[in-house]
Structure 1
Amino acid sequence: MSTIDHSTLDLAGLIAFVRVAELGSFVRASESLDLSKAAVSKQVAALERRLGARLLQRTTRQLSLTEAGQTYLRHAQTALAAARAAQDAVADTQTVPRGRLRVTAPMSFGLLHVAPWVGGFLNAYPQIDLDLQFDDRTRDIVHEGLDVALRIATQLDTSSLVARRVAGTRVLLCAAPSYLEGHGRPTHPNQLHAHPCLHFSMTPLGRAWEFRRGEETVRLALTTRLEANSSIALRAAAVNGAGLVRIPEFAVANDLESGRLEVVLPDWKFADLGIYAVMARRVYVPAKVRVFLDYLGGAWKRTPDWRGGGLSANT
């Protein structure tokens, strides 16, 4: 059986390679690591020499993993996750939360209801550095080394991860008063076929909208006038009279309060959404993670009906 020469292990090269592979770019990796592109390229090249294998296939237009690179990436991500867990376990013995905290959140929710609280959080915990990424993709938090992923869903798929429900939000059907005055106010979901509907394209239900009133359920497959992968974009279109929008309350609470939008079919309900903090399953929950969740959860509870989002009415 062959033995491993630990003198050939290259932690800096491993970190550089993983970041290049995850971000798909030497430039973005160098920005993330606060190094020059040349330094990152040199570290990856040195790693390849030590391994005796090509990990990345480089062309002028594309960067891709070789077969050896794909294998190495899986093991390297696991090793880095274990190293972070070991570091967290030690750091957690300290009384002051500290270290780099990597968090991902859905784009619209993150801009409206995470970003406005970041400054206060950083002031409260000066020894925490925050890496905040807004992305509507479902990220692999273990392989990408993320500490917390905020996810919004009626319910989460069962997995090996740990999910903590930190808040909830209603889903509403809304329109601008000017639109309703010009096109009429529907009194039943079946009348929506006569109206332009604005639809969030990343919902798992597709274009079907399901309404409930008591024991009655109506499910509509709609032809939508506008689809977008951003609640902020849909909200702006609705405020400007483009049609009826099915949208989380957190995105339109200020507009409802001001009268720029109003709720349509108030007796009919959509399924509520839960807002979850998803984390890798581990023995120690780092102090930096605990205080982040407690801080944001407390901030959201202090925000009645999701009013007070960070974007202005004219965004």
Structure 2
Amino acid sequence: MQQGRLPVPDLPGLLAFVRVAELGSFVRAAEALGLSKAAVSKQVSALERRLGARLLHRTTRRLSLTEAGQAYLRHAQSAFAEARAAEDAVAGTGGAVQGRLRVSVPMTFGVMHVAPYLGPFLAQHPQVDLDLQLDDRPTDLVMESQDLAIRLGRLDASSLVARSIAHSRVWLCASSAYLDRRGRPQRPDELGGHDCLHFSLAATGRTWELRQGEAVVRVALGARLDANSSLALKAAVLAGAGIARIPEFAIAQEIRDGRMERVLPQWQLSGLDVHAVMPERRYVPAKVRAFVAFLERCWQADPGWLGAGAHRA
């Protein structure tokens, strides 16, 4: 053995440190590992003594990583990702799709176009356990130990791996009762005289951009209602509250059956690409590949979602 080189890595200490760093708490790390807080603290302290470096700043109120801890965490997470990929690769040689699959999806899209297919997927893959997290705000896949996220629209630059797997158009819509009462806009500039409803998490902020050929019009909203849920906006539209910008996947059925009307249908709004987002790694686990492929097949066959298909215009 070379002088000064550490022997076999302290795997229990490494695991304890990673969970504490990811969860920000010795108590939560202990719960996740099925150990006592004292045992986790002892493992992390032993790891620090072994490395000869402090990895965590500990106070009575919070934990934070030292510079050495940040560097060690990056390497430790990479090691765990490689170990998990190795397990999945070996399992894959036997044709098995197995393990716990942690997936994050936006609330409305997840309720309408992911949750209905979970039963068939689990029946098809009995060795998979699924942990579905519904959240409209992007989560940190690495810090929250998630295998996959389904995200809509423009993605921020990151080291994550993303693939477009579907597309949804976006429409302005209102109820017939509202339009009968307030009139049907014929031009974008008429929207300023209407009650507009705003999705508060929209990347474009309080602006609607409409296009017709080469013409582009941006409408600044004085919204009567702000909501962080497309389901809430849809309910408000159906109740006659005003005009909203809502993805086709959320309102296709209501448009078809006449409970909603498209507003300014001759004008287009930017659509939403549906992305499968995964942590950066050389190998995508079989369980992730199986789930993404399964959703793609379901969406392409779903007559209730007119926007399905990655290359839909």
Which TM bucket (shorter chain)?
Answer: 0.7 to 0.9
Deviation at 1:94, TM superposition (A): 1.7
Deviation at 1:89, TM superposition (A): 2.2
Greater mean alpha carbon deviation, residues 25-34 or residues 166-175: 25-34
1:188-221 superposed Cα distances (whole Å, 9 cap, x missing partner): 1111111222222333222221112233321222
| Matching residue of 1:273 | 272
| Separation in structure 2 between the aligned mates of residue 240 and residue 80 of structure 1, nearest angstrom | 50
Q: Would the aligned equivalents of 1:161 and 1:280 in 2 still touch at CA under 8 Å?
A: yes
Greater mean alpha carbon deviation, residues 228-237 or residues 182-191: 228-237
Matching residue's letter, 1:268:
W
Q: Would the aligned equivalents of 1:104 and 1:134 in 2 still touch at CA under 8 Å?
A: yes
| Matching residue of 1:253 | 252
Whether 2:162 is the aligned partner of 1:180: answer: no
SS in 2 for 1:298: helix
TM-score calculated relative to the size of structure 1: 0.83
| Matching residue of 2:70 | 70
CA 1:58/1:111 → structure 2, altered by over 3 Å: closer, same or farther?
A: farther
| Separation in structure 1 between the aligned mates of residue 179 and residue 37 of structure 2, nearest angstrom | 55
Matching residue's letter, 2:303:
P
Greater mean alpha carbon deviation, residues 245-254 or residues 223-232: 223-232
SS in 1 for 2:94: coil
Q: Would the aligned equivalents of 2:206 and 2:220 in 1 still touch at CA under 8 Å?
A: yes
| Separation in structure 1 between the aligned mates of residue 58 and residue 253 of structure 2, nearest angstrom | 49
Q: Would the aligned equivalents of 1:77 and 1:143 in 2 still touch at CA under 8 Å?
A: no
Aligned residues: 305
Deviation at 1:264, TM superposition (A): 1.5
CA 1:252/1:67 → structure 2, altered by over 3 Å: closer, same or farther?
A: same
| Separation in structure 2 between the aligned mates of residue 289 and residue 223 of structure 1, nearest angstrom | 42
Deviation at 1:230, TM superposition (A): 2.4
Deviation at 1:32, TM superposition (A): 4.3
| Matching residue of 1:3 | 4
CA 1:2/1:132 → structure 2, altered by over 3 Å: closer, same or farther?
A: farther
Deviation at 1:27, TM superposition (A): 4.5
Deviation at 1:284, TM superposition (A): 3.6
| Separation in structure 2 between the aligned mates of residue 121 and residue 208 of structure 1, nearest angstrom | 39
| Matching residue of 1:106 | 106
Q: Would the aligned equivalents of 1:106 and 1:150 in 2 still touch at CA under 8 Å?
A: yes
The answer for unaligned runs of 5 or more in structure 2 is 307-313
Q: Pairwise mapping of residues 62-211 of structure 1 onto structure 2 (< 5 A)? A: 62-141=62-141, 145-153=145-153, 156=155, 161-211=160-210
Deviation at 1:75, TM superposition (A): 2.1
CA 1:290/1:58 → structure 2, altered by over 3 Å: closer, same or farther?
A: same
1:105-154 superposed Cα distances (whole Å, 9 cap, x missing partner): 2232223221222222112101122233333344454565433221211x
Deviation at 1:63, TM superposition (A): 3.3
The answer for unaligned runs of 5 or more in structure 1 is 308-315
| Separation in structure 2 between the aligned mates of residue 166 and residue 240 of structure 1, nearest angstrom | 33
| Matching residue of 1:19 | 19
| Separation in structure 1 between the aligned mates of residue 70 and residue 28 of structure 2, nearest angstrom | 19
Deviation at 1:25, TM superposition (A): 3.4
Greater mean alpha carbon deviation, residues 14-23 or residues 72-81: 14-23
Deviation at 1:270, TM superposition (A): 0.8
Greater mean alpha carbon deviation, residues 251-260 or residues 292-301: 251-260
| Separation in structure 2 between the aligned mates of residue 128 and residue 2 of structure 1, nearest angstrom | 45
Q: Would the aligned equivalents of 1:77 and 1:144 in 2 still touch at CA under 8 Å?
A: no
Greater mean alpha carbon deviation, residues 254-263 or residues 120-129: 254-263
TM-score calculated relative to the size of structure 2: 0.83
CA 1:248/1:101 → structure 2, altered by over 3 Å: closer, same or farther?
A: same
Deviation at 1:299, TM superposition (A): 1.4
SS in 2 for 1:306: coil
Q: Pairwise mapping of residues 21-36 of structure 1 onto structure 2 (< 5 A)? A: 21-33=21-33
| Separation in structure 2 between the aligned mates of residue 46 and residue 265 of structure 1, nearest angstrom | 66
Matching residue's letter, 1:84:
R
SS in 2 for 1:6: coil
SS in 1 for 2:186: coil
| Matching residue of 2:226 | 227
RMSD: 2.9
